[in-house]
Amino acid sequence: GERTRLAREMHDSVAKTLHGLALAADGLAGSADRMDPPAVKLQAELVARAARRAAAESRELLTDLRREQGLEGGVDLVAELAAQAEDFTARHPITATFRRLSEETPVPPVPQAVA
């Protein structure tokens, strides 16, 4: 069903991105001592961008899985807000952070329809 399709899609897209990321990082590590600093910086930025893309793909697919589950269990609002801030940072040149000010008051899960 839908869960199987999403799992297959996650394996195909995220696994390929992560494999490419590992190859790029290995290549950079192996040739960094022969490259000038601006070229190393550019390659490192490309590796970082690919890592952010893989993280965003993973979050998107996990969000789809959560949606498929409907209202059962609800959404961990703290985790969702942290993931959204991280996703925003991955897609934009602005850093967004989420920080919970107090652990004392529990935040109950909210229904998926609300989140």
61-65, 72-76, 109-113 — which one is most confidently predicted on average?
61-65
* Residues 16 and 44 both lie in one domain: yes
Entry pTM: 0.50
Per residue in 94-114, pLDDT (tens digit) is: 888 888 888 887 777 766 555
Same domain, 7 and 63: yes
* Structural domain harbouring 30: 2-68
Summarize pLDDT for 81-94 with one digit per residue, the tens.
888 888 888 888 88
User: Are residues 79 and 62 part of one domain?
Assistant: no
> Looking at residues 56-76, what average pLDDT do you find?
69
Give the pLDDT mean for 63-75: 63
52 shares a domain with 17: yes
Same domain (yes/no): 62, 103: no
Are 58 and 11 in a shared domain?
yes
What is the pLDDT at residue 21? 87
Q: What pLDDT digit, counting tens, does each position of 1-51 carry?
A: 666 676 677 667 777 888 888 888 888 888 889 989 998 988 898 888 888
* Number of independent structural domains in the chain: 2
For residues 6 and 62, membership in a common domain is answered with yes
Residues 6+ positions from 55 with CB-CB distance below 8 Å: 86, 87, 90
Instruction: Identify the pLDDT of residue 34.
Output: 92
